[in-house]
Structure 1
Amino acid sequence: MAKWIDEFRAGWRGDSQPSMLLAASFAVLCLVLATAARFGLAQIRPDVFFTPYFPAVFFATAFGGFRIGIATALASGLLGVIINFSSGHADPARFALLMIFWAVCGIAIWGVEHYRSLVAQQREVSKRLIEEEQYRKIVVDELQHRLKNKSSTIHAVLHQALQDRPDVWQRIDHRIRALSATDDLIARVDGYGCDIKDLLRSELGPYGHVRFNLNGEQLFLPAKLAVSLALIFHELATNAGKYGAFSSPRGFLQVSWTVDDGRLNVIWDETEGPVVEVLGEPGFGTKLLKSALRPFDGKTEISYLKTGVHCTMQCKLPNC
């Protein structure tokens, strides 16, 4: 019995085609119920011969297919002609109603079968898309694994090659690490990007969560923009740790962002840090800050105030 119930549920949902025995049994049940309904209506209107059988034909077709539907329609017509719940006999008018009933049933059976075929096609497409998505995820995971291994290899090769150039190594080591951390963060959300708060916490967390405050609504950054902002945030955080707010016991950082007319505005505001009085020649970090947002029609402006470093970043938010 449980097997029949499971088969009925699967057939009704359209997951599988029910067996001929189950479909025929369901059609017979529909005919019995329709005949009982006709008997009840006959107490009020004895001349109702075929109308109660329309639902039987519809449900039998929906469950068992057009062959079961046709058989149910033929059986319904015969029952409507043969069985009488009154003293009347079959006359030409009833046979005319029979032809109309079968014509309407034919249209209904065609419509239900057409819908069943569309649903079957959609289910097949959905199944194929799910399989392709699973395959894509496997491929992406494998590529991310290989990319991580390559990043580690590049990092190790550069470290080996620049052992005699510690100054150069110090300039690129932390940037490679920042890119790897950002790639890991983006990978955790399936490669599409990451939230700006998660990105900032990843970069600023090592300096202590009580040393900074993040102010802004939840904002999802596409992958390319997230990488560019990660480089900028890492550069600013590194400078804050060496010369700015994070190098002072009382130093504090406020990062806020807003989105206006499709453009992202970020403000990096340090307070209680050492006063920067003399500025040297622009280095690689400064050039990076100035150019990182150009692909997004953006710009970065840095001001060295007495209260600390003040940086504003503006760029266009690309479509995800």
Structure 2
Amino acid sequence: MQGEKLSYSRLITRTKYFQEKSLELEKELIFAKDQITSLEKELSSKKASDEQITQLKGELENLQHEIENKTKENVAKILEIEKRNVAQSTVKVYEKKVKGYEALLADMQIDINEKDKLLNHLQGKIKNLEKRTKYMTSSAVEPEESTGTKLDEVYAIAYFNTSIIMSGDQSVIIRGDLQIENRGARNLQNPIVCFRFNPIETAVLKGRIFPIEEAETRANSSSDQTHWVFTEHDWLEKSREKGEIWVAPLHPVTLKPGDQIGIDSFQIPVRSEFKEPVSVEGFVFFQKENYRIRVSNQIAISY
């Protein structure tokens, strides 16, 4: 049958069938030969004419050719069926393998994408940690215990300048600056600033504060200003956990006596569905001098 896939057992059965047919034809051939021999004897005895003998021999040859042709046709059919089945089987196996490879490649691509995301995340985290090691020790900083103490040698102040913009019944935008001033007799280096939010879910900080990679790109095009960066690679997630956002200068900074440094034009969007009070405190930490101060004023919104 055309298009039908033969099993091995069915192929053997058909081969036996053709073999039996060939044996039957051979038997018929032998029977024909016996008839011819008998006829030859009969014709010989009856003195048959040469034309009759020639005619019988011709019929015998035709019969032999017919048997040979049928045998060749049967063999050719068997070979054709085998080739067709092998081809169909090969195509199906190939298609199955291709689908398997495609599924495997798709899984590998997903795995590669996930690993690539994880790698980028870890690389960013490593870069941030490298930056943080310039400013922070391994011990945890407790800004809530920090108080500004006036000393002859080490003394600094910090304060917010802010304005509040109402953008709806429930939305407020706080725009402001944070100024840090060295009023002591010694240099102060590398201030790290903590913004503490209450409630913690309001912890969002926008403006001229960037992830390290973006800040480095901006610094290459404008080297005349201080660029502030988030010290945590995943700062937004961390801010939602503790209500704190930590920032620091991209490059080392030294404040000489009388010098100032500021975080300019930051923005804090606030949306309070239940009109809860919102407050933001600030803390500044100088690691090398082991000196911490609280920002002298805090940002507060009450409805």
**Structure 1 or 2: more helix by fraction:** 1
Task: Point out the structure with max Rg over C-alpha.
Answer: 2
- Shared fold (TM-score, shorter chain, > 0.5): no
**Scaled by the length of structure 2, what TM-score is found?**
0.30
Higher relative contact order (CA 8 A, sep 6+): 2
